[in-house]
Homo-oligomer: A and B are copies of this chain.
Amino acid sequence: MNLLLLFQKSIILQYSQWIFISIITIIAFHWFFKYLHRIWPLGKTLDHNHIIADKLNNDDEENEEHDEYTPALEENEHIPYEGATIKLPGGAEQFYKMVHNRRSVRSFKSHPIPSLKVIETCIKAAGTSPSGAHTEPWTFCVVSNKELKQRIREIIEFEEELNYKQRMSRQWTTDLRPLKTDHIKPYLTDAPYLILIFKQIYGFTKSGKRKQHYYNEISVSIATGILLCALQAAGLSSLVTTPLNCGPFLRDLLNRPANEKLLVLLPVGYPADDCRIPDLQRKDLNDIMQMY
């Protein structure tokens, strides 16, 4: 009974109403912000920044009402478009055979080095990707310098060791076992090129105003898909990697600005002579397509 009395007098019970109120407050705040986010998704939260930026940059006539909001793109007359005139002779079938031949490669040979011209053309192809409000929110950093590749490898292997041992779930590392990946990444120094693809979270207009990049992650990932096809068309192999927790270090290493975040890193080149890949099957059409 003494224990019960002690319990009743305990600090927790004494302040129980306040603890209760605190918890209610936390939950209420949580739902309130969730709701706010729902009714004002994405851009809305940045609206205040825009207004401030507008005020800072508005050294023009302040009474010009229509100047308060100007589009990032020019408002030109639209032009006629007759559709896809440059296609493949073999159409979708030829394209499918080509991309079905693509596989992710984890061991590369250092030579021959593909011509930089080809890499540039592949990146130009990726740059034709659609993007939210045509913001083109991508930067492709091509690294061929040996010391820099070595430094990138050191950063990634250091972080990946922590990822595999601490940060990733055991199920995750188990799911990666059939792909035989671990934190040792020789392809980062073997491959003649590394392409680090950064998404630009925001950009700047010609007048220096901050410009919102809508759906930048989806846009840059779509561009990555186009890049993969271009590399395959050129006979090159690659691997899409997402080095967990390495983004800020790699951004600093390459002196990229604060509005850029690493999305993916692709080693690019030719597979090593003894290159082996997982014996994977792709899902059947019936498993990925539904007709309505």
Binding site for B on A (CB under 8 A): 18, 21-22, 25-26, 29, 39-44, 46-47, 50, 69-88, 91-105, 116, 118, 120-125, 127-130, 132-134, 136, 138-145, 148, 166-172, 174-180, 211-212, 214-215, 217-218, 221-237, 239-240, 242, 244-245, 254, 263-264, 270-271, 274-280, 282-283, 285, 288-292
Contacts and interface: CB of A to CB of B under 8 A. Distances in A.
Given A18-B21, A81-B276, 16 more contacts: A22-B25, A71-B174, A73-B278, A77-B279, A83-B237, A85-B235, A86-B101, A93-B121, A95-B234, A129-B228, A130-B239, A133-B172, A134-B280, A217-B218, A218-B242, A221-B222
A237 B103 contact: no
A155 to B, nearest CB: 14
A69 B170 contact: yes
A123 to B, nearest CB: 5
A79 B178 CA distance: 12
Nearest to A221: B221
Contact of A86 (B98, B177, B230, B291): B98
B175 A218 contact: no
Chain copies in the assembly? 2
Nearest to A264: B218
Given A118-B92, A222-B221, A145 B244 contact: no
A83 B41 contact: no
A204 to B, nearest CB: 12
B167 A40 contact: yes
A11 B133 CA distance: 50
A128 B142 contact: no
Contacts of A282: 127-128, 136
Contacts of A43: 168-169, 171-172
A25 B237 CA distance: 51
A221 B137 CA distance: 15
A151 to B, nearest CB: 10
Contacts of A180: 78
Task: Name the 6 nearest CB pairs between A and B, nearest first.
Answer: A225-B225, A221-B221, A95-B233, A78-B276, A86-B101, A92-B234
